[in-house]
Amino acid sequence: MQSRILFSSSRQAITVNETSTSDSIAGDGVLSAEQWRAEASRLFGPDPLRWRFVCPSCGHVAAVEDWKNAGAKDTQAAFSCVGRYIGADDSRTFRKEGGPCTYAGGGLIRLNPVAVRHEDGAITHVFAFAGATTAAAA
């Protein structure tokens, strides 16, 4: 189901088109994969391992590197809470009181707030970038 990939943590750097910025978000609020990568690169630099995301269930902030170190696949980074891969306490799920938790982006309750359209047109909902959501979190 979630086989499409937005980035690879094994790739050292992402090259993005400089003209692609968040100013040009499509009217439906969905970012293209290229726009999403450009925004991530603008916020955190070109190395995907440094990209940081906030879990919509518990508020835990993790970098792609954390998912990788926990043994998760690239498709799970920014999609399911990193806690799933490090034996987190399930009682923290959906409480927004700190984590990590065991939230799964593909589960019954889907909270992932950011819609990204892949090159083939499919849309994946992922975590918000860390630091980009603090104003809207309340």
Least spacing, CB of residue 112 vs Zn ion, in Å? 11
Angle at 40 between CA 75 and CA 98, to 5 degrees: 70
Out of 6, 58, 62, 72, the only residue in the binding site for Zn ion (CB under 5 A) is: 58
**Candidate ranges 3-11, 51-59, 67-75, 121-129; the one touching Zn ion (CB under 5 A):** 51-59
The residue (of 37 and 60) whose beta carbon lies closer to Zn ion is 60
Quickly list DSSP for 114-138.
Answer: EEEE-TTS-EEEEPEETTSSHHHH-
The answer to whether 49 contacts Zn ion (rule: CB under 5 A) is no
- Are the C-beta atoms of 76 and 9 separated by less than 8 Å? no
Residue type, 99: G
The answer to whether 72 contacts Zn ion (rule: CB under 5 A) is no
The residue (of 63 and 101) whose beta carbon lies closer to Zn ion is 101
Assign residue 125 a region (left: φ > 0; alpha: ψ between -120 and 50; beta: otherwise): beta
DSSP annotation of 64 = H
Write the interaction track for Zn ion spanning residues 77-96; mark x where CB under 5 A is met and - where it is not. Answer: ----x---------------
Contacting positions for Zn ion (CB under 5 A): 55, 57-58, 60, 81, 99-101, 103
